[in-house]
Structure 1
Amino acid sequence: MVVAALGLVVLMLAPWWAGRADMRLMGEIYLYLSLACLWNLMAGYAGLVSVGQQAYVGFGGYMLFALTVFGGLHPIAAIAAAGGLAAMVSVPVATLIFRLKGAYFAIGTWVVAEVFRLSFAQVSALGGGSGSSLPVGIVRSLSSSRSGREALSYWLALGAAILVIGTVYLFLRSGRGLALTAIRDSEAAASGLGIDIWRTKLEVYVVTSALTAIIGGLIFLQKLRISPDAAFSVNDWTAFVIFIVVIGGIGT
């Protein structure tokens, strides 16, 4: 515990000892780590093998742009709001795709992501198919200096990783986590014990969707530009994440 605390302090002080490129790389690592933890919670524990989590990465990114440009929110507040909106959107989505099982569920999640991509590509106010950049005034609201913005982006990415890891850890050690473990081992046996399988999976899906949208907002806060193809890229935000989880050990 002491070693972990010291390591965390060292990472928090990175803006004072790391270069810009190093901080950007570490920030990307934290965000991918967060996405991998969330996908592992879904697939490794709840059995929800999704190939469409880019839907919520892109949704979070677009909500960042929409809420700051048109809603007048501070970028950090917009990212938090994006998580809440994603949670609300994920409920009706879940009612549709939870009707599917196995490979059909995976395909269904990908279809949902494509619907999101095509929908946002039609919003001309957000740049349509070509995308848009975050206005300079909004970028400067984070910090007046470039170094300040880069440090803040780094701290936000680190904070997001801590939030996600902590949330997953506490969830798995709660009563819901034990139910989830039982579902992973045998849905039939879990159902026989009185566990509400549908509700438990819904809770996991909603939580992971909300946190994925927050991560998506942070990703595009770093990039300062968004487009449908970049925001809803299955290669960048799902395939790569699945690779990380499989190499690291799914369900562990």
Structure 2
Amino acid sequence: MNGTGYTVEILDRDTQSDPARAGQLARDLTGRAVTLLVYILLAVMWNALADFAGLVSIGQTLFFGLAAYTTIRLADVGLDPYLAILASVATGAGLGYVTSLFMLSLKGGEFAIGMWVLSSLAHLCVNLDPLIQGETGTSLISLNAYPIETRSSLTLWLALGLTAAVLLTLFTLLRSPTRAAVNAIRDDELGAKSIGIDVMRTKRIIFVLAAAGTAAAGALWLASNLNFQPRVFFGVHWTAYMIFMVLVGGLGRIEGAIIGAILFFVIETFFATYGAWYLVGLGAVAVFVALILPKGLWGWIGPRLPGEAIPTGYIVEKSKA
């Protein structure tokens, strides 16, 4: 018997003799899967906002944190926690629309700083809620009504469903004529206006989608970890993670954002316990990729494939005479 078969046999015996240990292992794996899906949502949404709409935001924690807070609030008044999560995603989309009415008039650095200011204000307001108890925070205790195995499975399936829905929506959007409008606006906003493109409407579509996707990530993170502490959910480190994943994976492609999220997940899984050295390692990886692969990992992988992994381009067919 080879080494691999022997290891599997030993693991099977261990899990059979200790069902509790097997159950804990399954829940840990499920939790890590949800974490990966949260990272994918964050990376893809920030990529869509920064590249497709040309909006570099350092305040997407506005939607991430408020979605978690909304879930806590709705669950506290008696709504089922999983329905509260779905409602918080819808609320995130609504907040994104309202925010876009005044934020999209800002350009470049003004937009980036403006989003950070809004996120900071939201953080302060959440701290004033007696239910949250300031930075002490609270927990999504209503999830305890579900058996732990059921809760773990439902959270994973909900994460899979929300991630698939957001990615499918973005894919459909980029396969529509909106993609051409987005490219035109990114390359020359004034030129896009001159040929009749509704710049604000196009940007608003991407902005609202990014808000909803980021809100989904925040609500799922709460469901996976249960504890809500404002400084964690509104922390600027989330912005750093989003930028790292997108720039390392490859700005401008859904595949790049997903690869960046997977790479970040792997690095975190194996090296997060190293404390400050973990952060140094993240910085070193970012610098290495920026110097050696300026278009990110997908910028190197993509051209070597026979076709597009996720075909988001559009095709113009010649009309027949």
**When the two structures are superposed, what TM-score results if normalisation uses the length of structure 1?**
0.86
C-alpha displacement at 1:160, in angstroms? 2.2
What is the letter of the counterpart of residue 240 of structure 1? Y
Are 1:139 and 2:143 an aligned pair?
A: yes
Whole-angstrom CA distance in 1 between matches of 2:87 and 2:119: 20
For 1:242, the equivalent position in structure 2 comes to 243
After alignment, is 224-233 or 173-182 more displaced? 173-182
C-alpha displacement at 1:211, in angstroms? 2.3
CA RMSD across the alignment: 1.8
What is the letter of the counterpart of residue 130 of structure 2? S
Aligned partners of 1:42 and 1:208 also within 8 Å: yes
After superposition, where does 1:34-183 map in structure 2 within 5 Å? 34-70=41-77, 72-135=78-141, 138-141=142-145, 143-144=146-147, 146-183=148-185
Whole-angstrom CA distance in 2 between matches of 1:171 and 1:203: 9
Whole-angstrom CA distance in 2 between matches of 1:242 and 1:126: 29
Whole-angstrom CA distance in 1 between matches of 2:98 and 2:151: 36
For 2:32, the equivalent position in structure 1 comes to 25
Aligned partners of 2:34 and 2:224 also within 8 Å: no
Post-superposition CA distance 1:197-237 (Å, at most 9, x none): 111111211121122112211110111110110110110x2
Whole-angstrom CA distance in 2 between matches of 1:24 and 1:238: 22
Aligned partners of 1:37 and 1:168 also within 8 Å: no
What is the letter of the counterpart of residue 252 of structure 2? G
Write out the 4+ residue segments of structure 1 that deviate beyond 3 Å after TM superposition: none
Whole-angstrom CA distance in 2 between matches of 1:41 and 1:116: 23
- 2:135 match: secondary structure: coil
What is the letter of the counterpart of residue 59 of structure 1? L
C-alpha displacement at 1:20, in angstroms? 2.8
Whole-angstrom CA distance in 2 between matches of 1:22 and 1:76: 20
Q: Which consecutive residues of structure 1, in runs of 5 or more, have no partner in the other structure?
A: 1-14
Relative contact order (alpha carbons < 8 A, sep ≥ 6): 1 or 2 greater? 1
Aligned partners of 1:60 and 1:214 also within 8 Å: yes
After alignment, is 55-64 or 185-194 more displaced? 185-194
What is the letter of the counterpart of residue 23 of structure 1? T
Whole-angstrom CA distance in 2 between matches of 1:85 and 1:164: 15
- 2:197 match: secondary structure: coil
After alignment, is 207-216 or 32-41 more displaced? 207-216
For 2:194, the equivalent position in structure 1 comes to 192
What is the letter of the counterpart of residue 83 of structure 2? A
- 2:65 match: secondary structure: helix
Aligned partners of 1:117 and 1:232 also within 8 Å: yes
Percent of aligned positions with the same letter in both sequences?
A: 35
Whole-angstrom CA distance in 2 between matches of 1:92 and 1:155: 30
C-alpha displacement at 1:124, in angstroms? 0.9
Whole-angstrom CA distance in 2 between matches of 1:79 and 1:211: 12
**When the two structures are superposed, what TM-score results if normalisation uses the length of structure 2?**
0.68
Whole-angstrom CA distance in 1 between matches of 2:138 and 2:196: 50
- 1:126 match: secondary structure: coil
Matched positions, count: 231
Whole-angstrom CA distance in 1 between matches of 2:87 and 2:133: 21
Q: Which consecutive residues of structure 2, in runs of 5 or more, have no partner in the other structure?
A: 1-21, 254-321
What is the letter of the counterpart of residue 182 of structure 2? L
Whole-angstrom CA distance in 2 between matches of 1:221 and 1:204: 26
Aligned partners of 1:50 and 1:109 also within 8 Å: yes
C-alpha displacement at 1:188, in angstroms? 2.4
Aligned partners of 1:53 and 1:238 also within 8 Å: yes
